Amino acid sequence: MAATDSLVRSDFLTVVFRSDYRWLTARLRYKLGCRFNAEDVASEAFTQLAAMPTLQEVKEPRAMLTTIANRVMYELSRRRDLERAYMDALALAPEACHPSPEEQHLLMESLLAVDKALEGLSVNARSAFLYSQLDGLTYAQIGELLGVSAARVRQYMVKALRCCYEAARHEQGI
């Protein structure tokens, strides 16, 4: 039975790819202004579509592909913004303090993982976490900066740490 399901999935993906890849790429090229970026996003959208466990339940493949492609573009935009902010901060540091390219890559990946883990939090909760972890500020100092009590900062930290813990568990497959 599993072989039949696999064949049905494969046939479905083949049909959707043949009928919708050019359509999606053209749509993305219009939004992104670059054929190569459009092809990258379209390919990633199809990869994510193929990974869906409920693929046979997709009734409107174009709508699903559009939704996935929009998420991919959003994630790329966030990544570029974070990379730009990191490079701006790095430019302010003395050159002797600059990490190696390998360390920069690992730091960037770590920043992206933390950013993704904190994605659902409010701006204040994210800020509190970053002030605490990156700047070493106390809860009282963070509270003054954010205009909230230290107890509220503690609540923000609990939420942020819970998000990081859940992201780590998810990453480990637990």
Question: Which structural domains are found in the chain, ordered by start?
Answer: 1-98 (no CATH), 101-174 (1.10.10.10)
Position 10 pLDDT exceeds 80: no
Handedness of CA 106, 108, 114, 116 (dihedral sign): negative
Rounded to the nearest 10°, the torsion over CA 151, 154, 156, 158 is -140
pLDDT digits (tens, 9 = 90+) for 78-113: 888 888 888 888 888 888 888 888 998 898 888 888
pLDDT digits (tens, 9 = 90+) for 12-37: 888 888 999 999 999 999 999 999 99
pTM equals 0.68
| Predicted local confidence at residue 6, as pLDDT | 64
